[in-house]
């Protein structure tokens, strides 16, 4: 087989290029961008970066600035002078109770979600296969497809004094137990629909899928031979769970807690529909900004969950929770 002779310089110059350079400024600019992948990625990310930078971060900065203003108690007008007076108002007993109440509710919902989630996620990660795993994902995702308000109002009917839950307790002859729980000073009330316990139940139900999915993904990464090796070395099921499974799945629990804690911390609709007249942070922001017109205090209330979640995210990152998202 004969080898083809190389082209001369004049022939190479006359041969057409595979991608001939296009004329015009815009086509040349497009070609230059395509030849520089980093510039292409930068231009792709630029719109969303500008959106987050201007609309989201910009609004947070404006909110932070507003929190350093105060309101004139006589005229009700905002005094645009730098002061820490508004943050001092957060330490008043009434306002501090709102912050403490919200943080405790968010922590309680997070702990309860983690406890309820672990058996479900462990079963899905270890035993569900094929069609059953699809059923698992469908069962977790299906409640997220329905309206948030519809679910909350449905729970209000379920928890009402004339609701199905009260009827069920009566049929089981456990009305005395329900009345004993509602008689507890802090969590009780006239019915579950106007109690902290009812608010807690609805919060846990609404945010539970956001805890299940990260924990299940984290448990999927736990090697099965590692669990078997621990059992072969004499570890009891309790020791296996405490020393092997839980430490390896903990980043998933922390990742799920980011959702449950932050969503509970900022929600104002559920406490508005289900619960007592005592406010949470979201309701306080809505009341101060809308009804009272005290925008600096509303901004200061808004900064509180931002600071709390900033510290929480820093701690979660240190624990490797973002790897489980």
Residue 72, pLDDT above cutoff 80 = no
- In sequence order, what are the residues at sequence separation of 6 or more whose Cβ sits closer than 8 angstroms to the Cβ of residue 98? 278, 279, 280, 281, 284, 301
Residue 106, pLDDT above cutoff 90 = yes
Residue 1, pLDDT above cutoff 70 = no
Percent of the chain with pLDDT strictly greater than 70: 90
Residue 17, pLDDT above cutoff 50 = no
- In sequence order, what are the residues at sequence separation of 6 or more whose Cβ sits closer than 8 angstroms to the Cβ of residue 143? 151, 209
Give the containing element (helix H, strand E) for 71.
strand 70-71
Q: Residues 36-44: what's their mean pLDDT?
A: 77
Residue 7, pLDDT above cutoff 60 = no
- What predicted TM-score, i.e. pTM, was given to this entire model? 0.79
pLDDT of 315 reads 82
Shortest CA distance to 192 belongs to which of 224, 219, 226, 169? 169
Per-residue model confidence as pLDDT tens digits over 263-310 = 999 888 899 888 777 889 888 888 887 666 788 888 888 888 888 888
**pLDDT interval class at 108 (50, 70, 90):** very high
Written as six digits, the tokens of 34 are 């395509």
Q: Please, what is the Cα angle at 258 between 92 and 308, to 5 degrees?
A: 25
Could you give the C-alpha distances from 186 to 176, 181, 195, 196, 261, in angstroms and in order? Answer: 18, 10, 9, 8, 21
pLDDT of 109 reads 94
CB 254 within 8 A of CB 321: yes
- Residue with more model confidence, 227 or 12: 227
Residue 22, pLDDT above cutoff 80 = no
- In sequence order, what are the residues at sequence separation of 6 or more whose Cβ sits closer than 8 angstroms to the Cβ of residue 70? 78, 79, 81, 83, 85, 86, 296
- Residue with more model confidence, 82 or 25: 82
Residue 117, pLDDT above cutoff 50 = yes
The mean predicted confidence, pLDDT, of the chain is: 82
Per-residue model confidence as pLDDT tens digits over 187-246 = 878 888 888 899 999 999 999 999 998 888 888 888 888 888 888 888 888 888 888 888
Residue 113, pLDDT above cutoff 90 = yes
């Amino acid at each position: 087989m004969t080898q083809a002779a190389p082209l001369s310089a004049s022939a190479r110059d006359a041969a057409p290029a595979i991608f001939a350079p296009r004329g015009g400024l815009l086509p040349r600019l497009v070609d230059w961008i395509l030849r520089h992948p980093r510039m292409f990625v930068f231009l792709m990310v630029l719109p969303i970066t500008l959106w987050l930078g201007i609309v989201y971060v910009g609004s947070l900065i404006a909110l932070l600035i507003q929190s350093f203003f105060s309101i004139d108690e006589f005229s009700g007008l905002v005094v645009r002078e730098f002061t820490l007076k508004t943050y001092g108002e957060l330490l008043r007993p009434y306002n501090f109770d709102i912050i403490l109440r919200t943080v405790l509710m968010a922590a309680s919902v997070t702990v309860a979600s983690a406890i309820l989630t672990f058996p479900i996620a462990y079963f899905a990660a270890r035993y569900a296969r094929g069609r059953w795993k699809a059923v698992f994902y469908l069962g977790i995702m299906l409640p997220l497809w329905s309206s948030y308000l519809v679910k909350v109002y449905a729970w209000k009917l379920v928890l009402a004094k004339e609701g199905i839950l009260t009827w069920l307790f009566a049929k089981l002859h456990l009305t005395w137990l329900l009345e004993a729980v509602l008689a507890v000073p802090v969590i009780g009330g006239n019915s579950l629909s106007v109690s902290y316990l009812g608010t807690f139940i609805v919060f846990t139900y609404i945010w539970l899928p956001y805890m299940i999915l990260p924990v299940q993904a984290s448990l999927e990464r736990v090697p099965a031979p590692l669990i078997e090796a621990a059992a072969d070395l004499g570890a009891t099921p309790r020791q296996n769970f405490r020393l092997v499974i839980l430490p390896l799945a903990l980043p998933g629990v922390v990742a799920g807690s980011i959702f449950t804690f932050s969503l509970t911390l900022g929600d104002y609709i559920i406490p508005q529909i289900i619960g007592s007249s005592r406010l949470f942070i979201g309701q306080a922001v809505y009341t101060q900004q809308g009804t009272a017109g005290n925008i600096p205090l509303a901004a200061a209330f808004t900064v509180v969950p931002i600071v709390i979640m900033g510290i929480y995210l820093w701690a979660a990152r240190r624990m490797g929770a973002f790897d489980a998202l």
